[in-house]
Amino acid sequence: MMIGLLSFLTIIACGGEKTEESPASNAGSKGIGPVKSVTLGTLDQAMADRGKKQFEAKCAACHKFEEKVVGPALQDVTLRRTPEWIMNMILNPIEMTQKDPIGQELLGEHLTQMTFQNVKEEEAREILEYFRKMDLK
């Protein structure tokens, strides 16, 4: 995981050159970043609670569930995107908005660069769990 984070930081540091490498289809895209594959089980309440805390500290300033504020509304995000895509967007937002077709489109729509909030990979997983919980409501 450290290697993943490090290489991702390097990409930010270097400003990320634009390359043309769009996947054939956006549906089911896993995005670009350290997360290659996520296995989902039944909802882990404790994990979701930790994710809620992370979300409130680092994400809630720009995201609500029911409405767009700075960034898009997050209700049903786990239905719209793959778990990998969500985690990569949290962990690697700059490259995602530069290279990932969905990310590019979202930046065009919301016009504010999503920030990397120094979230660790396991914390991103907890945030994903919180999103799953919210989408079960």
Partner 1 sequence: MLKKSNLILVTLGITLFTFLPNCKKGAATATLASDAASRVYVAPGEKDEVYAFLSGGFSGQMSVYGIPSARLFKIIPVFSVFPENGYGFDEETKDMLKTTHGYVPWDDSHHVEASMTDGKQDGRWMFLNANNTPRLARIDLKSFETKEILEIPNTSGNHASPFATENTEYLMAATRFSVPVPQASVPIDSFSKGGFKGTVTMVKVDKNTGRLSVELQVLVPGFNYDLSHCGKKKSHDWCFFSSYNSEQAHKMLEVGASKKDKDFILAFNWVRAKECKDQGKAYNFGGDYVNNFKEENKPAVSTRLSGVKMLNPKDCPGMMYYMPTPKSPHGTDVDSTGEYIVGGGKLASVIPVHSFSKMMEVKDKKEHHSTEIEGIPVLKYESTLAGEVKKPCLGPLHTEFDGQGYAYTSCFVSSEVVKWKLGTWEVVQHLPAYYSVGHLSIVGGSSTEPYGKYLIAMNKITKDRYLPVGMELPQSAQLYDISSGKAELLSDFPTVGEPHYSQMIPAKLIMDKTAKLFPLEENKHPYATKSENDARIVKLGNTTHIYMTAIRSHFKPDIIEARTGETLYFHVTNLEQDYDIPHGFAIGGAPNMTNLLIMPGETRTFKWVAPKPGIYPFYCTDFCSALHQEMQQYIRVSP
**Interacting residues with partner 1 (CB under 8 A):** 12-13, 56-58, 60-62, 70, 111-113, 115-119
Tokens of 45: 């309440």
Shortest CB 69 distance to partner 1, Å: 8
Residue 30 or 106 having the CB closest to partner 1: 106
Contact present, 51 and 127 (Cβ < 8 Å): yes
Shortest CB 25 distance to partner 1, Å: 29
Cα–Cα dist 103/98, whole Å:
7
Residue 30 or 50 having the CB closest to partner 1: 50
Shortest CB 114 distance to partner 1, Å: 9
Backbone torsion region of residue 27, taken as left when φ is above 0, otherwise alpha when ψ lies between -120 and 50, otherwise beta: beta
Burial classification of residue 62, based on how many CB atoms lie within 10 Å of its CB (0-12 exposed, 13-18 middle, 19 or more buried):
middle
Return the closest-CA partner of residue 78 out of 126, 33, 128: 128
Residue 13 or 79 having the CB closest to partner 1: 13
Shortest CB 17 distance to partner 1, Å: 11
Residue 82 or 115 having the CB closest to partner 1: 115
